[in-house]
Structure 1
């Protein structure tokens, strides 16, 4: 979309930053920690989604590599002996609200109510619909959420 920001200046946090770099997207993600009003561009949303996926995958892999299994236990009991699972838990807790907020704002940019985020609770089909909606082009009518 267009905004009235002069060349060479920063886009205000209240407006979506189209074509955001990874560092700009991460900066805005954390600065708008609990902001549910306004809009988020595709790049702001998808850079965060990619970063979260990579970080979570790496921490889960590290955690899985450090789990001791008791082969003699009745249900192959798992005893966690490493800190990676705890680090993953803390990370997921720390980014829960901002992840929810950036998702909410992304849906605003495609002119949808943020409540569509809850469609993720419908297994498989809900997630497919959610991904299609968040991948959509920005719509001028989404400015009503600013």
Structure 2
């Protein structure tokens, strides 16, 4: 949960780098929350108000952590736009987010693996 809160606190931080663990823990908790909200909405027969509200709330932090994750692999944050290409773009972005950190420092900052928490 610390990784999730760390991303939320840095919700407009597009500079720097994000480790794989930070990114994927954030994604995992997002998926869990979305599933719980969907179950609550379907079991109570209410409109998908909670899911839409949560999606809007989490949009900026998700974008920021994805850009920082791309920075960690040595890529520009603009690569996030590749996801606009149907199917292929999402697959390419998935591969980029799964890649290991670039060794040492890069133009986006120091390697977050080397920084103690």
Contact 2:20 2:98 in 1 (8 A): yes
How many residues are paired up? 109
Q: Relative CO higher for 1 or 2, CA cutoff 8 Å, sep ≥ 6?
A: 2
Structure with more of its chain in strand, by fraction: 1
- Tell me the TM-score normalized by structure 1: 0.68
What root-mean-square deviation, in Å, do the aligned CA atoms of Structure 1 and Structure 2 show? 1.7
Contact 2:73 2:102 in 1 (8 A): yes
What whole-Å deviation, never above 9, does each CA across 1:114-139 have from its counterpart, x for those lacking one?
A: 11111111121111111110000000
Which residue is 2:27 aligned to?
49
Which consecutive unaligned segments of at least 5 residues does structure 2 have? 110-117
- Tell me the TM-score normalized by structure 2: 0.84
Which residue is 1:110 aligned to?
73
SS across alignment from 2:62: helix
Which residue is 1:129 aligned to?
92
Which residue is 1:10 aligned to?
none
Match of 1:100 among 49, 63, 82: 63
- The reply on whether 1:26 has 2:22 as its aligned counterpart is no
Question: Which runs of at least 4 in structure 1 moved beyond 6 Å after TM superposition?
Answer: none
Structure with more of its chain in helix, by fraction: 2
Contact 1:105 1:114 in 2 (8 A): yes
- The reply on whether 1:61 has 2:39 as its aligned counterpart is yes
SS across alignment from 2:36: helix
Structure 1 range deviating more: 136-145 or 88-97: 136-145
